Amino acid sequence: MSDARVLIVHTGGTIGMVPTDRGLAPAAGFEQLLRARLGERLAGLPEFDMVELEPLIDSAELKPAHWRQIAEPILQRYADYDGFVVLHGTDTLAYTASALSFMLQGLNKPVLLTGSQIPLSSARNDAEGHLLAALGLAGGGQINEVCVLFNGRLLRGNRCVKLDASAMAAFDSPNCPHLGEVGIGIRLRHDLLLPAGAPAFTSPVFDASSVAVIRLFPGIQNTFVQAVLSQPGLKGVVLQSYGVGNAPVSDRSLMEALEAGVQRGVSIINISQCVRGAVAPATYATGAALASVGVIPGADLTLEAAFAKLHWLIAQKATPAQIASAMSRALCGEQSAP
């Protein structure tokens, strides 16, 4: 048995679901099932305790307020454990991983998120391997950031996306190399992992109404954009544009709607709809026009990271100018250098 101690935070998700007459559903008592299924294979791994959220969350039901609930056990018991594993449903796992990375800046211990495509309760599953690998890495003392561990891939939490709805290799980080691989052995990319920091943790109150997403599409109407930008409580928007940050700028009414939103104090962050690549507003006139009305370039941020970063900044009471400054640089590895 390893001397390390790990805290598992079970939030819900497929990994701990059981069959019901309504389909798979979250169920309490996962720790007992885990110990029974893994049995002797836990020998040599860190000792662990588990806390379960009450009630457990189907990740499709996730709200920004849950991020604080998920972080609380880590914040409260940070000094008591050598590492942390968060079990989470796959649908919104990348959003939570991104949010935790901003809330838990300056980590000097691992925080690993994992889940599964098939429940641990099933005879054939991917959950067992994920749990064993996550426990081993969480107690290993070599990782100092929020990561996602899935199907043998160790990914930076705020760079990963769910790319496949049903394959075992559900997650990847298209704009960031894998931080490690778990196979016959464990190979970590120490040249890519963040160094240990001085904890600067935050647990702000998130307001679900403060951030929205607008995805451009052919024929998008200014009235649609105006309707989103006029929502009560809105302070930030992630704008998913074409290619390297382009938009139909010849539609003056659309551009005026975006500019009016900026003038009302709404921070609009421009990211690409493409899985790979970054916005480069200077490349085309259509991209430069967005910047000219105050839309903020979002580099190669994923949707999940841009959404979480914007939420976190707003919850921290950042001003539009402070948000624009923060979006121009990486706070915790979430985007590439310009």
What CATH number should be reported for the domain holding residue 55?
A: 3.40.50.1170
Is 90 part of the annotated catalytic residue set?
Answer: yes
338 residues of the chain, pLDDT tens digit each: 578 999 999 999 999 998 888 888 888 889 999 999 999 999 989 999 999 999 999 999 999 999 999 999 999 999 999 999 999 999 999 999 999 999 999 999 999 999 999 999 999 999 999 999 999 999 998 999 999 999 999 999 999 999 999 999 999 999 999 999 999 999 999 999 999 999 999 999 999 999 999 999 999 999 999 999 999 999 999 999 999 999 999 999 999 999 999 999 999 999 999 999 999 977 777 778 999 999 999 999 999 999 999 999 999 999 999 999 999 999 999 999 87
pLDDT of residue 19: 87
**Surface-to-core class of residue 260, CB atoms within 10 Å of its CB (0-12 exposed, 13-18 middle, 19+ buried):** middle
Place of tokens 């649609």: 224
Is 302 part of the annotated catalytic residue set?
Answer: no
- Whether pTM exceeds 0.85: yes
Q: Is 251 annotated as a binding residue?
A: no
Q: Is residue 22 part of a domain?
A: yes
Dump pLDDT digits (tens) for 12-64.
999 999 888 888 888 888 999 999 999 999 998 999 999 999 999 999 999 99
Structure tokens at 276: 């790979």
Shared domain for 184 and 215, answered yes or no, is no
pLDDT of residue 286: 73
How many independent structural domains does the chain possess? 2
| Inter-residue contact 96 to 62 (CB < 8 Å) | yes
Q: Is residue 156 part of a domain?
A: yes
Last residue of a domain, one of 158, 192, 226: 192
Shared domain for 26 and 143, answered yes or no, is yes
Shared domain for 151 and 267, answered yes or no, is no
| Inter-residue contact 137 to 143 (CB < 8 Å) | yes
Last residue of a domain, one of 192, 222, 242: 192
pLDDT of residue 1: 58
What span, in angstroms and rounded, lies between the C-alpha atoms of 302 and 238?
10
Q: Is 173 annotated as a binding residue?
A: no
Helix, strand, coil shares of the chain as percentages rounded to 5? 35, 25, 40
CATH number of domain containing 248: 3.40.50.40
Shared domain for 217 and 175, answered yes or no, is no
Shared domain for 297 and 239, answered yes or no, is yes
Place of tokens 């006029």: 230
Task: Give me the torsion for CA of 116, 70, 162, 267, rounded to 10°.
Answer: 170
The C-alpha angle 277, 278, 282, rounded to 5 degrees, equals 130
Domain that holds residue 235: 211-328
The SS3 of residue 289 is: helix
What span, in angstroms and rounded, lies between the C-alpha atoms of 282 and 289?
9
Q: Is 91 annotated as a binding residue?
A: yes
Q: Is residue 88 part of a domain?
A: yes
Candidate list 11, 90, 92, 302, residue with the active-site label: 90
| Inter-residue contact 85 to 135 (CB < 8 Å) | yes
